[in-house]
Amino acid sequence: MDTRRLCGEKKPSIMNQILTTESSVGLPAPRQGNLHRNLHPDRSAPSAALRGLGVGLTALTLLGSMASIKTSAASFADDLAFLQKHTEVITLSDKTGHAQVAVVPAYQGRIMTSTATGADGLSYGWINRELVAAGKFVPHINVFGGEDRFWLGPEGGQFSIFFGKNAKFDLEHWFTPAPIDTEPFKVVKQAKDSAQFRHNFQLTNFSGTIFDVQADRAVRLLTPSKAWKQLALKPTPGVKMIAVESVNKITNKGKKAWTTDTGLLSIWILGMFNPSPATTIVVPIKPGSEAELGKAVNADYFGRVPAERLVVKDKAAFFSGDGQYRSKIGVGPKRALPIMGSYDAANNVLTLAQFTMPTAKHGYVNSMWEIQKEPFGGDVANSYNDGPPSPGAKPLGPFYELESSSPAAALAPGKSLEHVHRTIHLIGPKAELDAIAKAKLGVGLDEITTALPKAK
């Protein structure tokens, strides 16, 4: 899909505002070419205005609230005990106790982390211990972490839900809506391997449209047999797995239809994982000409991604998940497939993220921080790699992300839209993981681990 142009009078970029703000509070002003403009901008040209979570995290950096975050790998028991000190945690488990999931109702029914090998096993989700332990909210956004969190879009533009009516598109006026940031979701049902949550709330977009929303979210720990079935693969002996899915639904509880003329919402699921120098992200793409399908990968978010960090081939993009360099990629609906993943060669963990991708009659919401020409021309799948904002500075995590979005929700009163996002971690003999990677990502482990050239 072609990169969009900003419309209207050209204004100073939000990046310049951030740089100015950083300088004014005594932080080193990074070189613009080396600083990513935010964590979740839309796929417009590098000069496009900033987009949400990254701005929020930049705000946290400026406020000094992300100072000393734990980055070392933890066991599931360690992460679970930490979370339980600070908030209510629902722990899902299979019959053996090997597959476990930690879910926090206060963070919108968020899947914080999981393990495939019991309490002493590796914990897969990234957790912002500094913010969780602080026990207080911060402005703009509260980035608690977690490998599956519920968000809504769009973030910018004339239909944004992150900016008040007719507010300026700048950091000062950008706020994550409380229902997807600070408000807890109510537990409506709980079992040993599942939990269901609900929250009713109202949102008003930039254009003044009011949305009365009911959000329903079910978190389910899948049995291995169900997980293999979802992968459309035969069970593989010797491979251990944890498979957890979130089934997310939004319902129009108002009296008026949600239309493209006044703005639509979308479900946006983001997973934050622990990075590693040996982690490579794989995003399968549909091959074809750019004239027919658009760009294979949208990699213009923060300026050029160095060649040693992103390699795009005919059927897949390979992207570094080392948490050492801020960068992001996205794939539009004509190129995306309903799966992406990563491989951590150091820990021999293959991670797959599956998501529903139905026909999108009304497209995907656009979150560019400007009045938009294409408000429904957004991406389906994204991946973000964190890193220091400038040489010598502390990263925001570090972490890497796998994200998926639902189509824009044009809903009549009482109607709903559902989006499923499934995360599967697999460990086992390399030969077996290699076969799974080839079957689901279209590439084997050798190609994954050698795809990115060594940094010079």
Mean pLDDT of 19-44: 31
CB 145 within 8 A of CB 126: yes
Q: What is the pLDDT of residue 392?
A: 85
Model confidence at 304, in pLDDT bands (50, 70, 90)?
Answer: confident
- Cα–Cα distance for residue pair 48/326, rounded to 1 Å: 17
Which one is predicted more confidently, 13 or 323? 323
pLDDT at 31 over 60: no
Which one is predicted more confidently, 26 or 175? 175
pLDDT at 337 over 60: yes
Q: What is the pLDDT of residue 79?
A: 98
Q: What is the pLDDT of residue 455?
A: 57
Q: What is the pLDDT of residue 107?
A: 98
Mean pLDDT of 427-454: 97
Q: What is the pLDDT of residue 390?
A: 76
Phi and psi at 179, nearest 5°, equal -60, -25
Listed in sequence order, the residues at least 6 apart from 318 whose beta carbon sits closer than 8 Å to its beta carbon are 280, 281, 282, 310, 311, 312, 448, 451, 452
pLDDT at 360 over 50: yes
On whether the pTM is more than 0.75, the answer is: yes
- Cα–Cα distance for residue pair 384/379, rounded to 1 Å: 13
Task: Verify cis geometry, omega within 30 degrees of 0, for the bond prior to 154.
Answer: yes
Model confidence at 245, in pLDDT bands (50, 70, 90)?
Answer: very high
pLDDT at 19 over 70: no
Which residue, 182, 170, 177, is CA-closest to 38?
170
| Domains parsed from the chain with CATH numbers | 14-450 (2.70.98.10)
Mean pLDDT of 327-343: 95
- The mean pLDDT value of the chain amounts to 85
Model confidence at 73, in pLDDT bands (50, 70, 90)?
Answer: low
- Integer angstrom CA distances of residue 47 from 13, 50, 155, 212: 6, 9, 17, 34
Q: What is the pLDDT of residue 26?
A: 29
